[in-house]
Amino acid sequence: DAKTTQPNSMESNEEEPVHLPCNHSTISGTDYIHWYRQLPSQGPEYVIHGLTSNVNNRMASLAIAEDRKSSTLILHRATLRDAAVYYCILTAGANNLFFGTGTRLTVIP
């Protein structure tokens, strides 16, 4: 199964943009890149996903490198509610979601 590499932790000041990186050098052509986040004491929630092109939604943007070996989740204006663990996951089927340990984002007021 293709795996991802993320920094253990990052900090951001409130209302500033945050760029969360993810490396996935062994990604295959059929792998989608998903991002989930887990708020304290809650289950993970979907943030965004993409295949090849950059994606935007109301929560975030996803920038995918041209060779697809890395991607970046962009939170345009971090709020205190964005403090969570962010997981970058590759999916190409029903049973191969590997969450890893993710990046713990701390937002500083």
Which residues contribute to the site for other proteins (CB under 8 A)?
30, 32, 34, 36, 41-46, 49, 87, 91-95, 97-102
Nearer to other proteins, 40 or 109 (CB): 40
Q: Closest distance between other proteins and the C-beta of residue 34, in Å? A: 8
**Contact (CB, 8 A) for 31 and 47:** no
